[in-house]
Every structure is written in structure tokens, then in C-alpha cells.
Amino acid sequence: MHAHSAQTVQPINPGTSMMKARVIDLSPEANLLSSTAFKRIQSFFQQESGIFIPGHKHQLIITRLRTHMLSLGFKDFDRYSSYLVESASHAERTQVVDLLTTNETYFFREPEHFTQLANAMLPKVKTRPLRVWCAAASSGEEPYSLAMVLNEKLGPTGWELTASDLSVRVLETAEQGLYRMQRLECMPPEYLKKYCRRGVGPYEGMFMVDSELRKRVNFVQHNLLDSAASLGQFDIIFVRNVMIYFDTDVKKQVLSNLYAQLRPGGWLVTSHSESLIGLDTPLKSVRPSIYRRTA
């Protein structure tokens, strides 16, 4: 199914049966990761993304990189990790960051934030179009959830939504807007019926986000460690479930970059599992996980 195809989809109704995810049996080869190779990859990934891989996550690296490593002709992680840090191309380094990045999300995750967006934030912002940045877009479920709320409350022209992620791979999935039914469990029934199209035939058990809504979301690749000045200023920034992977210094750098793009009076939303306590941020806490820049 192509991103703008409508021939194989139809309106979806709440209560559609869920599709069981397929389990892929990976090759058992290259299952050894030495301490040296682990430290090389750990250091590489933290330098590129700001994300620290804990010392007990050997199996995560093996699982994520094994097939890719073998496809390049490397038989063990010692040789591959040396190549990665010493002579790998920019494209190869980018692909490894993509493979190691965790992207677990679903529609309307932590639903209280969407209620606050609709009832507390949007009525107080008078600028039009209102600008929202989803700064850890992953595979698209969060920005599309935001887009549904924005479209309902502000109409089709009252808002702009930029969605960014470090991973090019997940952004390609996000732009397509095609998902398995499991992602729908927290979606309000009225949004489900209005903005989702059920797959038929070879796409049974899947759904696609409405094409008009997809067109309204601007997906861009962006590293949160870098300045986001090119993206412009925003009234609301969602940056959820990503700072839990950063150490204190990286968190401060990321927050400084985000703050620079937040308009006076604007809101910044983190996940409930994240806290800005001890980071000496100029943002004012409005309620747990919701902060505001002084007007």
C-alpha cells in the first residue's frame, strides 16, 4: 500500500479485532559480544545520539546489529566495531544509530496530556496558525494523535505540526501512516472512526491514517543534541519518552535547545516517567510533566 492509496482501505469502526504480531526468527550466528566491542559501540552510540546504553544491554546490541553486521561480511563484533568507529561512512553510522534506537509507542499514549492539550493549552494560545513540535516522533503515532486533537479543536488551517526524530528509518514509517491494529487500543472511538481507514485484502489487520491528516504533518530528521533554529519557534513542544535515555549533561543540552525554540508563554510536555528536577531549567512546572515558559 502506498501512502496516498485509498483503494484498499475503508473507514474503521471501534472494536475491530487485533492482529497478532509476527515473530521473526533471526540467525543464531554472531552471538558473542566482547567487553571491548560493547564499549566501542556504547561510546559510538552515546556520541552520535546522546543515549547511553547500560552495561547489561549486551543482548540488545547483538539483536539489533547482528543481521546487519553479517550482511556487510563481518563475522564478529570485534572487527565490526573497529570498522564502525574508525572508518565507517556517514551512511553506515546513520544506519547503526537507526538500528540501535528504541521506538516503542502507540496512539494517545499517556492520554492525560492530550486532554490537557485540548482543554488547557489550546484555548490560551491566540496565535494562528498555532505551531506544535513533536520532538521525538518515532514511528508517527504521537504526532498523528496530536494532529487529530489539533484538527478537532482548531480546524484544518489553524495549526502547523512539525514532527522530528533522529531515526530516518522510523520517519519513513511515520510518513506512510500504516499501522497494525494493536496501536489503536487507547484511541478515542470518535477519532478512530473519523481519521482511520481499515486495511482489506493483504492489509487485513492493519489501518492507515487518513490521507488529508497525513499531509498536515511535516516530518523532518533532527538530532536533539543540535540546534533547532531552522525549525522556527513553537507554542507547544512534546518531547516525551526520550530524555529517560540521557544523562544529566545531555538532558541540559537538549532542554537548552528546546527552550530556545519555545515562544514566551509556550508549553513543554515530557512523559510522566521523566522529571526536570535538578536540571536548573527556566521553565515553570504547571503540573507533573507539563512545563511553561514565562510569558
Please list the active-site residues: 64, 165
DSSP string for the chain: --TT--TTEEE--TTPPPPPPPPP-----S----HHHHHHHHHHHHHHHSBPPPTT-HHHHHHHHHHHHHHTT--SHHHHHHHHHHT--HHHHHHHHHHH------TTSSTHHHHHIIIIIGGG---SSEEEEES--TTSHHHHHHHHHHHHHH-SSSEEEEEEES-HHHHHHHHHTEEEGGGGTTS-HHHHHHHEEEE-GGGTTEEEE-HHHHHTEEEEE--TTS--GGG--EEEEE--SSGGGB-HHHHHHHHHHHHHTEEEEEEEE--TT---TTS--SPEEEETTEEE---
Q: How far apart are CA 79 and CA 76, in angstroms?
A: 6
**Terminal-to-terminal C-alpha distance of the chain:** 46
Judge whether 181 and 16 are in contact, CB under 8 Å. Answer: yes
Contact 285, 269 (CB under 8 A): no
Contact 127, 189 (CB under 8 A): no
CA of 227: how far to CAs of 231, 259, 260, in Å?
A: 9, 10, 9
